[in-house]
Amino acid sequence: MSADSRTPTALRVDGVSKRYGRTLALDDVNFEVPCRSLFALLGPNGAGKTTLMHILSTLLRPDNGKAFVAGFDTSTQPLSARRKLGIVFQEPSLDDRLSVRENLELHGLVYGVPRKIRRQRIDALMALVELTDWADKPARTLSSGMKRRLEIARALIHDSEILLLDEPTVGLDAQTRERIWHYIRELQRERDITVLVTTHYIEEVEACDQVCVIDRGKVLADGSPAELKQRYGQQLLRVVPKTEADHAALAARYVDRISADRADALILTSDDAFSEGFLAEHGARIRALSIEVPSLNSVFLTLTGREIRDQAASARDQTRAFGKIGGEHTR
Ligand SMILES: Nc1ncnc2c1ncn2[C@@H]1O[C@H](COP(=O)(O)OP(=O)(O)O)[C@@H](O)[C@H]1O
Ligand SMILES: [Mg+2]
C-alpha cells in the first residue's frame, strides 16, 4: 500500500460506548489519531484503555458508536482494518518454546507475507530492536524487556502502517521502559507509521505528539503535552517557612491553595502574579521559595482531582517486574 493512499486520520473513534454488565467501560469516547503521529492514550487502571484497544483491533464491538482504522469501519470491515494494524496486547502472547526468529516467522506466515520478503523483514526488525544475537534462543530465555521488543517487532512483520501498543512498558523497570520508548519513537520515525500507545505512566507521554487523557471511560482532554499543560497545568509554589509558627500562619491564611502540607514545606497552587505578591508580602516568614512549572501530573490532577498512581498494580504486573531483576539482558 503506497503512502499516498493513507488517510490523514489513521484512527478515528466516534461516540464509542461499551458496557460490561453494570460497568460502563467506555462512555461516548471521541478522538482522532493523525497519520504518522505518536499518540498516547493516558489513563489509570480501569480507565477503559484495553477495551478501546480491543475495539480498534476489531476483537470487540462497541455497543454504540464506530471506530475506524485507516478509514475502515472496525465493525463492518474488520478484515481490511486488521490488515492495516500491528498489535501488541497488554497480555504477553509469544510462544515461549519457539525461538525469536520462529516467533517472527510464524506471525509472517499467518499474515501471508511472501517468504523472501519475510526473511528480509525479520532480519531488519531483529536488528532494529537489537535482538539479532538472540535470533535462535527460545523466547522463554529472554528478559521481560526483550520479550516486549520482540512483540513490537512481530507486530510489524506484515508491514502494518498503524501500530497499537497496549501498556508496552507496564511492570518494567525505569531503564527498560526508557529503552522501549526509544524503540517506539525510532520505529515511528524510521518507518513513518502511526503509533497509538496506552500507558498509565504520565512521564512517558511527555515526548508524544498528542495525548488523550481518559478516566472512567470518558475522554477528559486531548492535545499536545504543551497544549495540555497550558490549558490545565497548575503552577505550584513551594514555600519553606522559617518557623513552625510561620508554617501554621501561612497554612491558615492559604488553606484554599494548599496542594500539599509537608513537614518542611507548603505546596500552594499558584500563578505568576500570586508568586510575586507572595514574596513581597511574606518575605520575612519564609526561608526558601521555588516555583514549579506546570507538569503533566498537575494536568491530571486538575482534570480528575487526584493523582495518577500505580495503585493497583496487579500480581501479574509484579511478576513481570520481578522477571526484570538483574537488568535488561538476564539469561
Ligand atoms: N471482560 C470484562 N468483564 C467485565 N468487566 C470488564 C471486562 N473487561 C474490563 N472490564 C471493566 O471495564 C473497565 C475498563 O477496563 P479496561 O478497559 O481493562 O481498562 P484499562 O485497560 O484502562 O485498565 C474496568 O472497570 C474493568 O474492570
Ligand atoms: Mg489495560
Residues 102 and 241 in one domain: no
What's the average model confidence in pLDDT over 149-173? 91
Ligand 1 within 6 A of CB of 199? no
| More confident: 66 or 325 | 66
Q: Provide the 8-state DSSP code for 234.
A: -
At residue 300 the predicted structure's pLDDT band, cuts being 50, 70 and 90, is: confident
Domain assignment present for residue 249? The answer is yes
Cell numbers given for 279: 514574596
User: Does residue 76 sit in the same domain as residue 166?
Assistant: yes
Is 147 in the same domain as 194?
A: yes
CB 228 within 8 Å of CB 299: yes
Whether 100 is in a domain gets the answer: yes
- H helix intervals, 192-305: 225-232, 244-253, 272-282, 296-304
Q: What is the pLDDT of residues 193-232, one digit of tens each?
A: 999 999 999 989 999 999 999 999 999 999 999 999 999 9
Average pLDDT score over residue span 24-49 = 96
Q: What are phi and psi of 213, to 5 degrees?
A: -95, 125
CA–CA separation, 170 and 295 (whole Å): 21
138 has pLDDT over 60: yes
Q: How high is the pLDDT of residue 172?
A: 85
Out of 229, 257, 285, a domain closes at: 229
Q: Label residue 306 by pLDDT band (50, 70, 90).
A: confident
The rounded distance, in Å, linking the Cα atoms of 137 and 316 is: 24
Identify the pLDDT of residue 315. 36
- CA 218 to CA 225: how far, in whole Å? 19
Of the candidates 179, 204, 229, which is a domain's last residue? 229
| Vertex 34 angle, CA 29 and 39, to 5° | 70
Residue 68, classed as helix, strand or coil, is strand
User: Dihedral angle at the C-alpha atoms of 139, 140, 142, 145, nearest 10 degrees?
Assistant: 90
Please give the share of the chain, as a percent, with pLDDT higher than 90. Answer: 71
Task: Report the pLDDT averaged over residues 247-255.
Answer: 96
Residue 298 lies in a domain: no
Q: Measure the CA–CA gap between 90 and 1, rounded to whole angstroms.
A: 28
CATH number at residue 251: 3.30.70
Residues 146 and 106 in one domain: yes
- Residue 66 in any domain: the answer is yes
For a substitution probing ligand 1, which of 23, 27, 164 has the most ligand atoms within 8 Å of its CB? Answer: 23
In this prediction, residue 297 carries a pLDDT of 86
Mean pLDDT of 297-303: 86
Helix (H, G, I), strand (E, B) or coil at 107: helix
Mean pLDDT, residues 280-288:
94
Residues 110 and 213 in one domain: yes
CATH number for the domain harbouring residue 207: 3.40.50.300
Q: Are residues 162 and 251 in the same domain?
A: no
**Looking at the whole model, is its pTM more than 0.85?**
no
Residues 264 and 198 in one domain: no
Note whether residue 56 is domain-resident.
Answer: yes
pLDDT at 313 over 70: no
Provide the angle, in degrees to the nearest 10, between the axes of the packed helices 144-154 and 115-128: 140
Residue 323 counted as domain residue: no
Whether residues 69 and 211 fall in one domain: yes
C-alpha Rg value of the chain to the nearest Å: 23
Q: What is the mean pLDDT of the chain?
A: 88
List, as ranges, residues with CB under 5 A of the ion ligand 2.
49-50, 90
Residue 300 lies in a domain: no
Determine what percent of the chain is predicted with pLDDT higher than 70. Answer: 90
Among 16, 17, 50, the mutation site with the greatest number of ligand 1 atoms within 8 A of its Cβ is 50
Tell me: do 89 and 186 sit in the same domain.
yes
Task: Decide whether any atom of ligand 1 lies within 6 Å of the 29 Cβ.
Answer: no
Residues 217 and 97 in one domain: yes
Å from CA of 125 to ligand 1 middle: 32
Residue 281 lies in a domain: yes
Q: How many CB atoms lie within 10 A of CB 312?
A: 10
Give the H/E segment covering residue 30: strand 23-34
Q: How far is the CA of 214 from the centre of ligand 2 (A)?
A: 12
CA–centroid distance, residue 237 to ligand 1 (Å): 37
**Total domains in the fold of the chain:** 2
| Ligand 1 site, residue 44, Cβ cutoff 6 A | no
Distance in angstroms (rounded) separating the CA atoms of residues 150 and 278: 53
- Per-residue confidence band for 7, with pLDDT thresholds at 50, 70 and 90: low
Q: Is 266 in contact with 288 (CB distance < 8 Å)?
A: no
Same domain for 140 and 282: no
Element (H or E) spanning 208, and its range?
none
Q: For ligand 1, atom 14, name the residue with the nearest CA.
A: 48
The stretch 28-36 carries a mean pLDDT of: 97
Name the residue range of residue 264's domain: 235-293
Q: Which of 13, 20, 55, 166 to mutate to test the pocket of ligand 1 (most atoms within 8 A of CB)?
A: 20
Does residue 190 sit in the same domain as residue 269? no
**49 ligand 1 Cβ < 6 A:** yes
55 lines ligand 1 (CB under 6 A): no
